[in-house]
Amino acid sequence: MDPARTTSELIVQLQLLSRDIDLMAAQRLEGTGTSLRAVSVLMCADESEKTQGEIADLACLDKSTMVHTVDALEKDGLATRKPSQKDRRARVVEVTDEGRELVASTEHALAVLYDEVLARLPEADRELFLRSLATLAGGRSAR
């Protein structure tokens, strides 16, 4: 397949890859009672004290989707909202022990997914691809 030569080709190829990863993740996580979105939110929230807005930005979710996701995580006992220690007006998401256990239970399935996606590339190209992807993602504009 030829590399993307236009902006629209690049966008379409990235969207296709993203959609494929979402579908593969849904298959790998089937039966676990969770989704890649929920795991991503839990992972982002567990790194340090973050507001819903900060997590939404990290997980590339719009605010409405983020609210619904945290509502579901809270309902399932996987996360809670609490006042920020830095700013009492702000609410932060805290991952519960059950949330951490859920993330840990998905690690193997997601590692297999990671390996399957990268296996599409020649081994010599994988490190460069990952560095380039990190550079592109790191340069994304603020919302």
pLDDT digits (tens, 9 = 90+) for 67-122: 999 999 999 999 999 988 888 888 899 999 999 999 999 999 999 999 999 999 99
pTM here is 0.82
Length of the chain: 143
> Which pLDDT belongs to residue 138?
80
> Which pLDDT belongs to residue 2?
62
Q: How many CB atoms lie within 10 A of CB 91?
A: 16
> Which pLDDT belongs to residue 141?
57
Inter-residue contact 69 to 37 (CB < 8 Å) = yes
> Which pLDDT belongs to residue 143?
46
Q: Which amino acid is at 112?
A: V
Burial of residue 118, with CB atoms counted within 10 A of its CB: 0-12 exposed, 13-18 middle, 19 or more buried: middle
